[in-house]
Structure 1
Amino acid sequence: MRSIREITPIKNDDPFVVLKHKNALFDYPLHFHNEYELNLITDFKGSRTVGDSTEKIEGSDLTLLGPELKHVWKSDSVISKAAVITLQFQEHFLYSKIMSYSVSKDIKKLLELSKRGISFSNPTKEIIYKKMKLITGNDTFKSFLIFLEILHILSTSNDVKILSSPQSANYNEKRESRRVSLIMNYVKNNYKIPIKLSKVAEMVNMSESAFSHYFKKRTGISFTNYLMDYRLGVVTKYLTETNMPINEVCYEAGFNSLSNFNRAFKKKHNMSPKEFKHNYEKEILR
């Protein structure tokens, strides 16, 4: 689905910008921008779309979104009682001097991961709500310290859910291993063809069992599941951004049969590809 680029109000010399809205209407279309965005929404009932993820939300919602990640909220209510506090900060913050210090390593990882979108549940959500209410502007050192504290709290939180798939979010995770980087690049360039575990293990001069253990330790996911997630991410990208027939999407993403494709997609999304596309379009266009 088509999205528009938003021009945010942040200036080059601003550490961040804070925006507060009461009775928010959520009438802005699917969009993206160059900045990071931390959104806290309260008294909300509706849906949230981030990348290829669409979820129903009721109550409060706290999300951190990276640059270029498309997103939109849609309210179920014509008259809204929802309030929104938004912190936006520039993409180059990730590469600033302060992020090069060892004490910032957790925040740096958080910002890398936010390129897929992250939602936070309680108790983190309640803690951040209290902190964000204390920020009155971006022109005091106290507010800047609170901003850094918020990022630190989020970076050490366990109340985390990753929202969008790597492929749909166009997410390039920082690599900690040359071997893992080699394999991920191979998948990126060859996902349309059959990829065997023996082949990728041979590429890094390891046995299949050693490679499987190594890959999972480095990434937190088995190679088989990584490959499946990557292909399903390709699928959702086609479903949300093109009108390609679903049977063509299946083979474009590297699946060798429609039955395997439908089974894998339903296992991940709890719905068929057709239902997913219909629900996504309904949430975006309504």
Structure 2
Amino acid sequence: MKPRYEQPRTLDGTTFLSYIRRERAFGFGWHYHREYELTLITEGSGTRYVGTTVERYHPGDLVLLGPDLPHTFTSEPYEGSAEAAVTQFRHDFLGPGFFALPQFRTLGGLLARSARGLRFDGAGDDTRAELARLPALEATAQTVALLDVLRRLAADPTAAAITGPGYAPAPSSAVRDRVDAVCRHLQQTHTGPVHQEEVAALVHMSPTSFSRFFRTAMGRTLTDHVNQLRVETACGLLTGTSLPVTEVAARSGYRNLSNFNRRFRELKGLRPTEYRAAHRQPVVPG
């Protein structure tokens, strides 16, 4: 039930890994690793889980994730493939103390901020194009290009933290195991009835203790977290299918349409119909 620890393997001739991840669809694979990770989505849409935050992603989505930050990308059903350009590197991949050198301190600051994950909504097309080309370059050019991408991102005023200030990667093994067990359980069950007593029992806690624990660890209540999961599920259905809003609400876990509309507008600032019109994509049958 806890995230899988991964240890990416570098190729001969280099000290970091850059590759194209291409699959029929990205499945839920909750994991973490010691490496920083730059991920650029080049094809497909879905849901991005980073720490305790759940958000939609689309082509062009660009994030930098710090070490030991649990994450996964899960595709929505659609025709085509899911693809991302991924670069993973350790803090010392260019030698101990490299990012403490005066000329690279701004890059070191960027890496420090990535502990909560960073999203770059306003990064330029040239930055995204350079990152997408990275896997095809030879080792020396790859290294120079990676530093240039990090330089651009360090100066990007649009960089926004993904997780809340209350989330810290691996605060303790016991806390993380509980948080990860709950998050994975809710990812699989949030479209059905969710009862705090059952979720608390999953991590062997009383409902009252669990309520305090969850609010402290996640920075919000269980109800708020479930609503976020459901609304993100609804976003995928609204943009990826032609289902009526009533059916979208039901499939997302809402049995009451007015409650669905209210929660959706609270989180997205739009009515479901307005969101569908603003994010319309080629749809598939429901």
TM over 0.5: yes
> Taking structure 1 as reference, are residues 2 and 171 closer, same or farther at Cα in structure 2, changes over 3 Å only?
closer
Which amino acid in structure 1 is aligned with residue 208 of structure 2?
N
TM-score (norm 2): 0.61
Cα separation, partners in 2 of 1:24 and 1:92, compared to 1, 3 Å: farther
Deviations 1:180-207 (A, max 9, x none): xxxxxxxx9xxxxxxxxxxxxxxxxxxx
**Alignment pair present for 1:37 and 2:37:** yes
* Alignment coverage as a number of residue pairs: 211
Structure 2: distance between partners of 1:143 and 1:274: 41
- SS in structure 2 of the partner of residue 72 of structure 1: strand
Please say if residues 240 and 280 of structure 1, whose CA atoms lie closer than 8 Å, have aligned partners that are also in contact.
Answer: no
Return the offset for 1:24: 5.0
C-alpha distance in 2, partners of 1:29/1:149?
A: 30
- C-alpha distance in structure 2 between counterparts of 1:14 and 1:33, whole Å: 19
Is the contact made by 1:94 and 1:108 (CA closer than 8 Å) also made in structure 2?
Answer: no
Shift of 1:150: 0.6
- Quote the residue 2:84 is aligned against: 84
User: What residue in structure 2 maps to residue 157 of structure 1?
Assistant: 156
Q: How does 1:143-222 map to 2 (within 5 A)?
A: 143-170=142-169
Distance 1:169 1:252 in 2: 14
**1:3-28 Cα shifts (integer Å, max 9, x gaps):** 11123122597332111134552125
Give deviations 1:80-136, integer Å, cap 9, x for gaps: 3332111111243487332121111111011111121111112x1523221123324
CA deviation string 1:231-274 (max 9, x = no partner): xx9x977953863455323434788xxxxxxxx837xx9x6255
Specify every segment of 5 or more residues in structure 2 that has no aligned partner in the other structure, as ranges: 185-201, 237-286
- Hey, what's the Cα distance between the residues in 1 that align with 2:157 and 2:98? 24
Do 2:54 and 2:228's aligned partners in 1 also have CA atoms closer than 8 Å?
no
> What is aligned with 1:272?
224
The 5 A counterparts of 1:6-155 are 6-10=6-10, 14-27=14-27, 29-93=29-93, 96-122=96-122, 124-137=123-136, 139-155=138-154
Partner Cα separation in structure 1 for residue 118 and residue 8 of structure 2: 20
Q: What is the CA–CA distance in structure 1 between the aligned matches of 2:32 and 2:47, rounded to whole Å?
A: 17
Residue 245 to residue 13, structure 1, CA distance change in 2 (3 Å)? farther
Report the CA distance shift for 1:7/1:74 in structure 2 as closer, same or farther (over 3 A): same
Q: Which moved more, 1:35-44 or 1:74-83?
A: 74-83
Shift in CA distance, 162/252, structure 1 to aligned 2, threshold 3 Å: same
Give the C-alpha shift of residue 161 in structure 1.
1.5
Q: Match for residue 210 of structure 1?
A: none
Change (3 A) 1:167 1:11: farther
Change (3 A) 1:80 1:99: same
For the 8 Å contact 2:6–2:33, the answer to whether it is kept is yes
SS of structure 1 residue aligned to 2:87: strand
Q: Is the 8 A contact 1:45 1:57 kept in 2?
A: yes
SS of corresponding position for 1:153 = helix
Q: Give 4+ residue runs of structure 1 displaced > 4 Å after superposition.
A: 136-139, 235-239, 252-255, 276-283
Cα RMSD after superposing both structures: 3.7
Change (3 A) 1:57 1:246: farther
> Structure 2: how far apart are the matches of 1:131 and 1:72?
23
**Which stretches in structure 1 are left out of the alignment for 5+ residues?**
173-187, 189-232, 256-263
SS of residue matched to 2:7? coil
Please say if residues 48 and 74 of structure 2, whose CA atoms lie closer than 8 Å, have aligned partners that are also in contact.
yes
Do the aligned partners of residues 275 and 63 (structure 1) sit closer, same or farther apart at CA in structure 2, a change above 3 Å counting?
A: same
Residue 144 of structure 1: how far off its partner (Å): 1.4
Secondary structure at 2:58 match in 1 = strand
Matched residues, percent identical? 21
Find 1:240's aligned residue among 180, 183, 199: 183
Summarize the Cα distance change of 1:110–1:27 in structure 2 as closer, same or farther, 3 Å threshold: same
Residues 44-82 of structure 1, C-alpha deviations (whole Å, 9 max, x = no match): 221000000101223321111111111111111254333
